[in-house]
Amino acid sequence: MNSDQVRAIAHELGFGAVGIGPSVPKRPEAHQAWIEAGCHGEMSWMETHRDVASDPDLVLPGAIRAICVLDRYPGVEPEEVPDRFGRIARYARGKDYHVHTLKRLREFGERLMSSYPGGAFRACVDTVPLLERDLASSAGLGRIGKHTLLIEPGKGSWAVLGVLLTTLPFEMDSPLIEDPCGTCTRCIEACPTDAITPWEVDARRCISYLTLEHRSAIPLPFHEGMGDWLAGCDICQEVCPHNQPTTARSKTPKAEALMPTKMGFDLLEVLGWSEEDRRDAFSGSALKRVKFDAIRRNALILLTNKACEGDSVARKILEEQLCTIESDEQAPDLLRQTAEMCRSRMV
């Protein structure tokens, strides 16, 4: 099978890198143990479909190869964060990669199918619970760092991944051998909620999970650590030596659709949103899965952080918000529980 044609089509479609590897992840048992330990938190679909992660045949019968691609997005750059502002993770500052990357990945499969009509293909971009980073590492795109993200040599970890499973025996790329981290533990030390241990993240403590996927009230011990992260978190990537700004990295091509259009939202505006406002604000964004009450929960916690840091304006507005929630019998339980915890921090 002509692997050169695979690479040529991938580059024509604008992917930043492409690699071909086995369809079965290297360490599925580690993922199973992670699930068994409950580290997936409230992401029940991971447990329900955990067999899919280790058996690609459940996604595409007869799959033997994983064609892995990545789209890069802008990483660390100087930021002036306005007062009472909530930041969002950098991957979500442009268009929704689930849509943008998946569309091109499907076209990738269609073009290969026209050349190899006997083969089958299945495009996956967070649409099924594959272990994309593990597969991408086996395909030679990079190595997984201690923060569990794929580090691309010379370019860092600012990228989203996609996988095209196929039944065709394309020649595989060689995986990289060099350990990208060595003795470095910056990501572990910088995580404000102690979510990271080497090559594993406990989602139940991760700011990204808590602000995006967690549907219940966020436990009080994690409130302060959220800082000004309204949706997602980039701290472990910001401190990674592989991600520090260099001329070479600044010139590395980025996916046009993932170029940032916003860095976050004013917390006071978020607290005043209607459901329609939330839909409009997140339209075309990877954040659209964040529910209305959850984003207001996050904003309430961040405003409390500002107040506890000495922001008198934030304290005044927060007091008004808490009183409104506490006096509203129709207020959602999620907001009432959050307000109670925020109130405890104001004493």
Question: Could you give the residue numbers annotated as active site?
Answer: 126
Determine the straight-line distance between the first and last CA of the chain, rounded to whole angstroms.
68
* Contact indicator for 174, 139 with CB cutoff of 8 Å: no
Eight-state DSSP code of residue 212: H
Q: What would the DSSP string read from start to end of 95-143?
A: S-HHHHHHHHHHHHHHHHHHH-TT--EEEESSSS---HHHHHHHTTS-E
Q: Where do runs of H (alpha helix) occur along the chain?
A: 3-12, 28-36, 44-48, 50-54, 97-115, 132-138, 186-190, 207-212, 235-238, 247-250, 267-271, 275-282, 292-308, 312-327, 333-346
CA angle 320, 323, 328 (to 5 degrees): 125
